[in-house]
Amino acid sequence: MGFSRAAVVDAALDVLDEQGLEKVTMRAVADRLGVQHNNVRWHAENKQRLLVLMSDAVLAGLDVAALPIQWEDRFRALARWYRKALLAHRDGARLVSGIATTETNTYRLADTVIQTLLDAGFPRERRPGPPGPCPI
């Protein structure tokens, strides 16, 4: 039976939704797919890599072109979208916050947030010193 990395990630997200983050294992995903454990490892080398792929999948679907032009409205829309993405999966916030990733969807969100703040006039670099009031 051939299957893709996307199928592995989808199965892992199903395990996450049904049983929670602690129960997401390579073996649980293999059982979900009805394959041997090593078949899952072909697509995600280890559990950490699987969690990275899952985290990035949670952040899929951001349509940057559909965001408002005004930075305040865009920032609010991004915050609402991010919250909705995290709440779409059981333990979604725990999953995403516990993973450092360089995957496409994660970068798309981060780049969009950073560009929104730059458009608002925030400086590119933070100067040392006490934190000031947040203008947002």
**Which pair of tokens denotes residue 71?**
């930075």
Is 41 in contact with 80 (CB distance < 8 Å)?
A: no
Closest to 61 (Cα-Cα) out of 16, 104, 92, 17: 104
Q: Using 70 as the pLDDT threshold, list the residues of the chain that sit under it.
A: 1-2, 127-136
Cα–Cα distance between 39 and 41 in angstroms, integer? 5
pLDDT more than 90, % of the chain: 83
Q: Which pTM was predicted?
A: 0.86
Please tell me the predicted confidence (pLDDT) of residue 100: 84
Kindly list the structural domains of the chain, giving each domain's residue range(s) and its CATH number in brackets, ordered by start: 5-119 (1.10.357.10)
Query: Which DSSP letter does residue 124 get?
Result: S
Q: What digits encode the pLDDT tens for the residues 17-36?
A: 999 999 999 999 999 999 99
- CA triplet 58, 85, 42: central angle to 5 degrees? 5
Is 33 in contact with 3 (CB distance < 8 Å)?
A: yes
Cα–Cα distance between 118 and 134 in angstroms, integer? 14
Which DSSP helix (H) or strand (E) runs through 123?
none
Please tell me the predicted confidence (pLDDT) of residue 58: 97
